[in-house]
Amino acid sequence: MTQLGKKLWELSTSYGTACLLLIFLFLLTLFGTLEQVDHGLYAVQKKYFESFFVVHEFAGVPLPLPGGVLCMGLLSWNLIAGGLIRIRKSRATAGVIVVHIGMLVMFAAGLVKLTASDDGYLRLYEDESSEEYVSYYLWEVAVFDADSKGEVSEFLISDEQLKLAEDDSLRLSHGLIPFELELRHFRENARPTRESSPLPLAGDWRLLELEREQEAEANIAGVYATARSATGGEQTAILWGLAESPWVVEFGDRRWGVVLRHKRYRMPFSIHLDEFTKLEHPGTDIPSEFSSEVTQRKGSEALPLLIRMNEPLRDEGLVLFQSSWGPSNAQPGDRLFSVFSVVRNPSDHWPLYSCIIIGVGLLIAFTEKLIKYVKAQNSQRAKEAGV
Amino acid sequence: MKRLIVLCLVLVATLTTSVQAQEEASSFAWTEETLELASTLPVQHGGRVKPLSTYAGFQLLRMNGKRTVKTITGERIGPTAWILDCLFRPDAARTYECFRIQNDEVVTAMGVRGEEKRKSDYYSYDDLEDGLNALFGLADAALEVPGDQRSLVQTQALLLASNIRDFRRLIGVMDFGRESLPLLGSPGLTTIFAENHRSGVLVLLEKAPELRELWTGLEGLPANEQQAEQNAATELSTMIDAVLEPTQYTMTLFPPPADAAEDSEWLGIGDAVMLAFADQEAGLECIPAIAALEDLVGLRGNPVGFEQRFAELHEEIVSRAAARGEYDYVPLEVRFYRGDFFYRALLCYLVSFLLCCLSWMLPASKWVTRGIWATLLGGTGLVILGIVLRCIIRERPPVSTLYETILFITAVGVIVAIAIEAMNRQRIAVVVATVLGAGGMFLSMKYELKEAATAGDTMPSLVAVLDTNFWLATHVTTVTMGYAAGLLASLLAHVWLFGQMFGIKLEAKSSYKALTRMIYGVVCFGLLFSVVGTILGGIWANYSWGRFWGWDPKENGALLICLWQLLILHGRMGGYTRDFGLCVLSVVLGVVVVFSWWGVNLLGVGLHSYGFTDGVASILKTTYGVEALVVLMAGAWKLWSPRARLSA
């Protein structure tokens, strides 16, 4: 190892670096907590915890800080290199090493969740079924043959692709459609307007970009779309997340539907809501229980199940949680809908494993210290008594 | 050791012999037996079945900040006697000074400020009555102002108006048995009620079949007779609504049938009357109890007769509640509140602290030492007993509300301090234990007042998502143990810093060194519970909502504690902080704990916004400011004091 490499190794694995990173993480967490009051969770999460660098305004003075991703990345390195490799291996450090292993398991769980999981919701009225759940805040554009019968094949443009259309135009072709689709001026929160706006007109309308909402799911996206046929025809429209019906593109005697909607995920089973129950503590409006009696269908198999608060349905790598209900202004006897949060997370149980490992490690480490402390106290007392 | 145990027991016994003293220093009207029966009468309020004495206690606490009230003769009566007076002797109850006015600007604005009254004083309903229109006007105007912009007078006016309305309802509950109904307003009614000479709604229920027949057969009558009957029916109905209206907003008295669903709502008097009139089984079952209540109205001047009839009513309601398994913990809850464990624990801790002070002057006195331990252990025993009884009554783990965190954190902090003292016998942890105990109990009593004003109970019904004893017992308990350790470490660090700054010599030469070891040990203990508790919280969230971590303020608060504790330990292990640094960082740890425990609740965002913390902001800001001053003072001392260089 070169001299520089050795120095870097020592620096990056030192207690000093660990302390510095802990201070940065502490500050990020503190500022990210306080700032939620004004900017909401989603924006704060992006700014402080899912970033490499962040500039925080502290009493009007800009304070540059490493972002959450950078901090946690460096801390992981410090943990592996300093807390597992470089650390002196002895009985006294056994507990600490176990704790560090547990921390790594937790970080790994976070990483897997961040990169390999998805989540959304499924809203069902009583007697409704679905085998899809919908993302809270990711968008997609779907193009389909408007006149097809039965199962409809769709050409999907993902949220990542749509983000590319924020500043540039995105031109897409697909075997399913005999035209080129151009998307541009994608805006995460916008509404169509006839009033003035920096964005161009499409017919009588144009998009008006709005401030991002504090809660990401409250944003309604919009994008300009142009369909160009190889034969020279061209049609333009604004796609908006709350549009009541798809934009219909006609070339010749064929029609295609184009829709901007929240991203949909398919489940390997369907859920039918048989009955939703909402109970309140007697004489109050404090909810005591929400539960949904559902039927899970997998092929020809139908399984009656109960999903309730703290008791989700886990199957096929998916977890369905009782989340909320509606309509909020429902009167007695009205038909209710139940909302389930749906999560696919390969590292679902890893936090539990990490908790057990960390707990055991801390117990080992601190029991060791406690025994030493008691022994020291006893010898100290004996010494003082002797004096 | 035996002597110590005996001393402990004597102390606790002395403090608890006066169990009923305050509560049942009865008003002249009620016999001891009546008060005993009334205190254990089950009622449903706030989603749970509780003793009437608990309901009355919190009503009184909300109105005047105490569970006792002064009558016109200067006698102090407890909540049960007070509520019996409200229900059956409203004219007397109106004269009791049960409204605490914290700022006389409100009563001045109402035009009813008594000349002999102090700026903050107690008023009776009669004292305030002439100014009620002005009060309701003030309250209506205050409602137009956003909550965070209301002046003190506006806030007080709103609170007083709400208390007045509740009091009016309470004294009006038995109007249904007092008021004479217009029963002879038409030929049809006269025929039915000709022989009646009683007031109250019972007579109406007795004649319900005839009345139904009369009113369903009106179409056959000539138009003028029909109109007369309709007018009389409307007048009667309006009067019934008026006399039953106060019963709609207070506790409900009548348990549903034994075979009704587990979470069935109890019936209030008004609902029961209406159902009985409509010939519904649930209402008809309540007629004996309604009759008993009406009789009790008439018996209010006859304490012995009242007691006998009340015993019958008590038997009726208790047997119905017991058949549903809803009476099991009612007597225990009565004993819990009579025990007043947390107030008595506060007294124990204060005595213990005073004895600690005495021990500095008389270090060799064994009796002082025994006294310290007896009061400290006695106080802690009372806190533990109180927490255990709450767990039994609620059928919950020790912590499920913000109020309970105060009790639990105090108990854990004191127990850990006692354990440390038992190990090193430096007489430092024991002092800290008394301060922590007294502070915790004082805070719990203050917060109980807030709970009375908002939830009307410190044992509220939990929302659906919290209805899981497993996670309450694991995550909530461990994370609050982490809070307790953080606060204890901070208190010990204050002792070290102030001791060093002011040059206080401790008993043994090695005491300061021992103190830093204690702090380090407590931080380690805290880290174990903070980390495990925080991760368990994430696991609960993951298993209940599908997300392990959501950067929610309360989650972040717990993370901040973990990070700071890790910083302290890594700084110590890396040699960056020595004794002084450890203590300063531990003082800051206390601030972080306070922010996580209370501060994040004030932000008003996130999923964990629970607990009523309005009014706590100023206390929190003061705490942050004082602690900042402590850290600055310590820094200055470290930089400029020659003694700092020597001691460090």
Residue type present at position B29: A
Angle at B604 between CA B600 and CA B608, to 5 degrees: 65
pLDDT 10s digits, B498-546? 999 988 877 666 788 889 999 999 999 999 999 999 999 998 888 887 7
Between A133 and B148, residue with greater pLDDT:
A133
Which among B570, B576, B607 is the top mutation candidate for probing chain A, defined by the most A β-carbons within 10 Å of its own β-carbon?
A: B570
Angstrom distances, CA of residue A46 to CA of A51, A67, A135, B135, B551: 6, 10, 18, 49, 11
Residue A141 has pLDDT above 80, yes or no: yes
CA end-to-end span of chain A: 54
Determine which of B75-84, B565-574, B614-623 has the lowest per-residue pLDDT on average.
B614-623
- Contacts of A205 by beta carbon, 8 Å cutoff, 6+ apart: A192, A193, A194, A238
Q: For A238-293, what is each residue's pLDDT tens digit?
A: 999 999 899 999 888 889 999 999 999 999 999 999 999 988 888 888 888 889 99
* Furthest CA-CA distance within chain B: 109
pLDDT band at B22 (very low <50, low <70, confident <90, very high): very low
Is-cis flag, bond preceding A200, omega within 30?
no
Which residues in chain A have their CB less than 8 angstroms from residue B508's CB?
384
Q: Given a cut of 90, is residue A156 above it in pLDDT? A: yes
The C-alpha R_g of chain A, in whole angstroms, comes to 28
pLDDT at position A317 over 50: yes
- Encoding tokens for residue A106? 């937790």
- Judge: B535–A351 Cβ closer than 8 Å, yes or no: yes
- How do residues B119-146 score in pLDDT, each as one tens digit? 889 999 999 999 999 999 999 999 998 8
**Which pLDDT does position A271 carry in this prediction?**
96
pLDDT bin (cut points 50, 70, 90) of residue A202 is confident
Instruction: Decide if pLDDT at B248 tops 60.
Output: yes
Of B173-187, B358-372, B404-418, the one with minimum mean pLDDT is: B173-187
Contacts of A352 in chain B (CB under 8 A): 539
Give the range with max mean pLDDT: A95-104, A111-120, B193-202.
Answer: A95-104
Of B461, B557, B574, the CB nearest to A284: B461
The pLDDT-based confidence of B6 (bands split at 50, 70, 90) is low
Task: Please tell me the distance from the alpha carbon of residue A93 to that of residue A75, in angstroms, as a whole number.
Answer: 19
Across residues A202-208, what is the average pLDDT?
Answer: 85
pTM of the predicted model, to two decimals? 0.87
| The length of chain A, given as a count of residues | 387
**With contacts defined as CB-CB under 8 Å, which chain A residues touch B463?**
286-288
What was the pLDDT predicted at B24? Answer: 40
Residue A148 or residue A68, greater confidence: A68
Residues of A in contact with B473 (CB under 8 A): none
Does A91 or A135 have the greater pLDDT score?
A: A135
Q: Which among A23, A49, A73 is positioned nearest to B550, based on CA atoms?
A: A49
pLDDT in tens, B311-349: 999 999 999 999 999 999 999 999 999 999 999 999 999
pLDDT tens digits, B424-434: 888 899 999 99
Measure in Å the smallest separation between the Cα of B510 and chain A Cα atoms: 9
**Which residue among B464, B548, B563 sits closest to A290, beta carbon to beta carbon?**
B464
Query: Has residue B2 got a pLDDT over 80?
Result: no
- Residue B646 has a pLDDT of 60
pLDDT band at residue B224 under the 50/70/90 scheme: confident
Q: Is B183 exposed, middle or buried (0-12, 13-18, 19+ CB in 10 A)?
A: buried
Nearest chain B Cα to A307, which residue?
Answer: B544
Q: CA A242 → CA A165, A221, A223, A239, B641, distances in Å? A: 19, 8, 12, 9, 69
Across A219-233, B257-271, B442-456, B628-642, least confident range: B257-271
B596 touches chain A (CB under 8 A): no
Q: How confident is the model at residue B236 (pLDDT cuts 50, 70, 90)?
A: confident
pLDDT score of B468: 77
Average pLDDT, chain B: 88
* pLDDT confidence tier of residue B25, bands split at 50, 70 and 90: very low
Q: Is B469 helix (H, G, I), strand (E, B) or coil?
A: helix
B535 shares contact with chain A (CB less than 8 Å): yes
CA distance B429 to chain A (A): 14
Q: What is the DSSP letter of B78?
A: -
Q: Is the pLDDT of residue B78 over 60?
A: yes
CB contact under 8 A, B536 and A355: yes
- In the block, residue with structure tokens 């709609």: B248
CA distances from residue B512 to A284, A369, B516, B577 in whole angstroms, order as listed:
55, 19, 6, 16
Q: Please state, in angstroms and rounded to a whole number, the distance separating the CA atoms of residues B390 and B48.
A: 14
Residues of chain A with Cβ-Cβ distance to B604 below 8 Å are: 37
Q: State the average pLDDT over residues B76-94.
A: 94
Question: pLDDT per residue over B399-423, tens digit each?
Answer: 999 999 999 999 999 999 999 999 8
Query: What's the whole-number mean pLDDT along residues A162-180?
Result: 88
Q: Which residues make beta-bridge pairs with A140?
A: A261
The per-residue pLDDT for B542 is 86
**How many angstroms separate the first and last alpha carbons of chain B?**
39
CB count in 10 Å sphere of residue A196 = 8
**CA separation for the pair B21, B35 (Å, rounded):** 13
Task: Give the pair of three-digit tokens for residue A185.
Answer: 């001026």
The rounded distance, in Å, linking the Cα atoms of A147 and B40 is 73
Give A341's contacts in chain B (Cβ within 8 Å).
545-546
The reported pLDDT for the residue numbered B316 is 93
Residue B15 in this model has a pLDDT that exceeds 80? no
pLDDT reported for residue B152 = 83
Cβ distance B441 to B453 under 8 Å? no
Q: Kind of pairing, strands B48-51 and A254-280?
A: unpaired
Instruction: Specify the pLDDT at position B17.
Output: 42
Cα-based distances in Å from A157 to A23, A133, B253: 42, 17, 62
> What ranges in A13-135 are assigned the alpha helix state H?
15-34, 36-44, 68-77, 91-116
Helices (H) and strands (E) in chain A, counts: 7, 19
| pLDDT value at residue B19 | 38
Residue B9: the pLDDT is 53
Determine, for residues A26 and B564 on separate chains, whether the beta-carbon distance falls below 8 Å: yes
Q: What pLDDT sits at residue B73? A: 86
Q: Provide the greatest CA pair distance for chain A.
A: 107
Predicted local distance difference test score (pLDDT) of residue A294: 96
* Position B12 pLDDT exceeds 80: no
- Is B641 strand, coil or helix? coil
What is the average per-residue pLDDT within B88-113? 91
Nearest CA to CA, how far is B620 from chain A (Å)?
15
Query: What was the pLDDT predicted at B26?
Result: 42
Rounded (10°) angle between helices B223-244 and B208-216: 140
pLDDT at B458: 93
Do B136 and B161 touch, CB atoms closer than 8 A? yes
